[in-house]
Amino acid sequence: MNHFLDIHKTDKSALRGIIDDAKAIKTARAGRPKAAPDDELPLKDRMVALIFEKPSTRTRVSFDVGVRQMGGQTMVLSGSDMQLGHGETIADTARVLSRYVDMIMIRTFDEAVLEEMSEHATVPVINGLTDRSHPCQIMADVLTFEEHRGAIADRKVVWCGDGNNVCASFLHAAGQFGFDLTFTGPVQLDPEMEFVGFARNAGRTVTIERDPFKAVEGADLVVADTWVSMHDAQSAKERRHNMLRPYQVNDRLMQAAGKDALFMHCLPAHRGEEVTSEVMDGPQSVIWDEAENRLHAQKAIMRWCLEG
Ligand code: CP
Ligand code: NVA
């Protein structure tokens, strides 16, 4: 059985297979809004539980639609409505759910919850975001980059802002897909050394550059994310904004990156904060493709989980 827990915990060749499968799934749809009538139905007669302990638009809708297009059904559960939110252990929840459903996707806070779920579930478990990673997002981002620019290997990705969970998954992907990453942000919000070390140990160049204009020189891709993540205390908002303001992705920064650099953001974005509307709606932005590609990437991830 295959769990999809994190990019650095998934075999390199499996990751490449998932991206190629996602490309094929998307091509087969030929731009149609709905599933192709001849779509395979690998989830026929299967039930997938989608558990959310944090809010979501893209993850919730793209998984729900993806499961249905693959012939399955979904059950969307909020952690606080389950006994899980009232003292039942994660291990017991995993054992019970495995008797009812064929796959579990969970968005949670502590990554230990995801790990415990996967240790005790007898069905595949997928990470729909934790405080420390967001692997489904980065699979969609790799797919999006390759659609627009070809192979991501040996390219330069620049992360602007907070070295958060999405940044961590980008560092994992740098190691696994073989690209280099420059982080530009305040020292207080550097990504954890564990994530940087993973990419470096895989032979990739990870650069920390405090000057955002220097950082983006020669970038193939510039990425931003919210300055205050769902797991961050709201009381830290003002302090974070003050530290992060110099790292806003705006027209001036994209000009420094060069006209061939793409712009990505996992969304939801805060227009006028981490990124300006000019950049989000401008010619270098591929954010809507990126959001769409969550659907295709996750269908490929679910197929891979079932193959195991
Ligand atoms: N990018 C992303 O995961 O969005 P949601 O929080 O809306 O799911
Ligand atoms: N870093 C953000 C990503 C949201 C998809 C958060 O964790 O809130």
- The closest alpha carbon to 135, from 169, 177, 172, belongs to 169
Q: Confidence band (pLDDT; 50, 70, 90) for 305?
A: very high
> Residue 37: what pLDDT?
56
One-letter amino acid of 79: G
What residues does each domain of the chain span? 7-134+293-307, 137-290
Q: With 80 as the cut, is the pLDDT of residue 242 above it?
A: yes
Q: Averaged over 220-240, what is the pLDDT?
A: 98
Dist CA 157 CA 221 (whole Å): 5
Q: Averaged over 108-135, what is the pLDDT?
A: 98
Q: Domain 137-290's class?
A: alpha beta
Q: Is 231 a catalytic residue?
A: no
> Residue 1: what pLDDT?
83
CATH level 2 (architecture), domain 7-134+293-307: 3-Layer(aba) Sandwich (3.40)
Cα-to-centroid distance, 222 and ligand 1 (Å): 19
Q: Which residue's alpha carbon is nearest to atom 2 within ligand 1?
A: 58
Q: For 154-184, what is each residue's pLDDT tens digit?
A: 999 999 999 999 999 999 999 999 999 999 9
Per the residue annotation, which of 102, 120, 137, 240 is the catalytic one? 137
Q: Could you give the percent of the chain with pLDDT greater than 70? A: 98
Q: Is 134 a catalytic residue?
A: yes
> Residue 268: what pLDDT?
98
> Residue 93: what pLDDT?
96
Dist CA 262 CA 286 (whole Å): 7
Q: For 28-73, what is each residue's pLDDT tens digit?
A: 887 776 665 556 789 999 999 999 999 999 999 999 999 999 999 9
Instruction: Provide the token pair at 78.
Output: 């909020």
Dist CA 67 CA 253 (whole Å): 39
> Residue 244: what pLDDT?
98
Q: Which residue's alpha carbon is nearest to atom 4 within ligand 1?
A: 58
pTM > 0.85: yes
User: Which numbered ligand comes closest to the C-alpha of 108?
Assistant: 2
Q: Could you give the percent of the chain with pLDDT greater than 90? A: 93
Q: Taking a C-beta distance cutoff of 8 angstroms, is the pair 263, 254 a contact?
A: yes
Q: Which residue's alpha carbon is nearest to atom 2 within ligand 2?
A: 229
The closest-lying atom of ligand 1 relative to the alpha carbon of residue 291 is 1
- Residue 199 burial (CB count, 10 A): 24
Query: In terms of pLDDT, which residue wins out, 308 or 93?
Result: 93
Q: Does the fold of domain 137-290 match that of domain 7-134+293-307?
A: yes
Cα-to-centroid distance, 166 and ligand 2 (Å): 7
Mean pLDDT, rounded, of the chain: 96
> Residue 36: what pLDDT?
57
